[in-house]
Chains A and B, each alone.
Chain A
């Protein structure tokens, strides 16, 4: 390695197509006092710009071998069915250029129908459900589609402020195809009256909030069995300038 360093490589490294910078008005600020936990955790120094090179435009491909038979069906992971309203949640993972992201791992976790997580730190006095763990995994298909079967999570109280309740939500974790596309977010349900009181959803710039709300979809609904919700997720797109080999993702 040091020989290469001293002599400099004869050929220059590959020119890689970077991803677009974060679009202003998309993501929440790190400093958001209404969400009290940000206070001691947000960095106060300005962020250092990181140009997109090889480490930023590559990423793990973790679909295969990490997903079991019932991982996409949170109602089928125990001997009995969980209590609550059975639902189907499906959608597509796309990039900001409208292209589907196939074969990428989607991970979800959520509270049960009573609004309780199977986690030691959750002290909400609502019942645990012996038939519900609340975690799921699914790789996207060739068109970027994912589909989960679960129960609708309940709202639950948290101690951020007096009478603070989180609207019902499902946590989503996405990889995309590049480190620059990694995203963890939350999906909400349409028409929830708790939206205006929730500092976590409200941390998102107003015009972008609706992107976190799924829609009731009768085509996703399975008649006589489960209501369906549809939610598409858009990861960061490439910069406009097309460069050679930009689709050669390792």
Chain B
């Protein structure tokens, strides 16, 4: 039996009444060894901050396993952060392991990202890769599918002190590559 899928609608401007969780950005708890903050700014086609976006992340753990919920390990795999007045978001997490693919290769360590906002009638999906993995990134099948290296590099976070920075540009000259799922 095939059922017709329910259409998407925008998250709208008022999702903060229900969706943000106090522990949303905590993919791992404060004090977890190896924890790092990954975040950045969401901007629109005029370069203005987007103060009403919700950014979610989903990823494997450092061993390349998907633990799902609030497992015994304390690793949730899932992060959620609403942007602030300057469009900034961040999650505290662990760097994931690489993932095997059926042909015998590996996907480089990455986070999947969903972006929801007023003005987005469907979610946008992108990925965050890690700047200290040049070899793994070079062998990653998704990155390899983006021919222009200037576009490809926009999926790789940049070091920013002890954090990693990943800005999400919804539209414009340096638009983030978004993915069709």
* Residues of B with C-beta under 8 A to A212: 6-7, 9
Whether the pair A121, B112 counts as a contact (CB closer than 8 A) is no
Please tell me if A235 contacts chain B, counting CB pairs below 8 Å.
Answer: yes
In the bound complex, how far is the Cα of B5 from the Cα of A81, in angstroms? 35
In the bound complex, how far is the Cα of B9 from the Cα of A216, in angstroms? 22
Whether the pair B14, A121 counts as a contact (CB closer than 8 A) is yes
Whether the pair B135, A13 counts as a contact (CB closer than 8 A) is no
* Residues of B with C-beta under 8 A to A111: 14
Count of A-B contacts with CB under 8 A? Answer: 274
Please tell me if A59 contacts chain B, counting CB pairs below 8 Å.
Answer: yes
Please tell me if B31 contacts chain A, counting CB pairs below 8 Å.
Answer: no
Please tell me if B36 contacts chain A, counting CB pairs below 8 Å.
Answer: no
- State the majority secondary structure of interface residues on B: loop
* Residues of B with C-beta under 8 A to A2: 135-136
In the bound complex, how far is the Cα of B176 from the Cα of A31, in angstroms? 16
Whether the pair A45, B8 counts as a contact (CB closer than 8 A) is no
Interface string of B141-181 (1 = CB under 8 A from A): 11001100001000000000000000000111001111111
Whether the pair B7, A122 counts as a contact (CB closer than 8 A) is no
In the bound complex, how far is the Cα of B58 from the Cα of A56, in angstroms? 9
Given the contacts A32-B121, A48-B178, A173 and B99 also touching, CB distance less than 8 Å: no
Whether the pair A23, B5 counts as a contact (CB closer than 8 A) is yes
In the bound complex, how far is the Cα of B123 from the Cα of A134, in angstroms? 23
Question: Range of interface residues on chain A?
Answer: 35 or more
In the bound complex, how far is the Cα of B2 from the Cα of A19, in angstroms? 13
Interface string of A1-42 (1 = CB under 8 A from B): 110110011011111100101110011111010010111111
Contact pick for B3, options A28, A39, A59, A237, CB 8 Å? A237
* Residues of A with C-beta under 8 A to B101: 12-13, 53
- A-B residue pairs in contact (CB < 8 Å), sample of 20: A4-B106, A16-B102, A26-B4, A40-B46, A41-B50, A47-B178, A49-B145, A50-B127, A59-B78, A60-B77, A61-B69, A66-B21, A171-B11, A171-B12, A173-B11, A179-B181, A182-B56, A185-B8, A186-B9, A236-B5
Closest 3 CB pairs of A and B: A13-B100, A109-B18, A37-B119
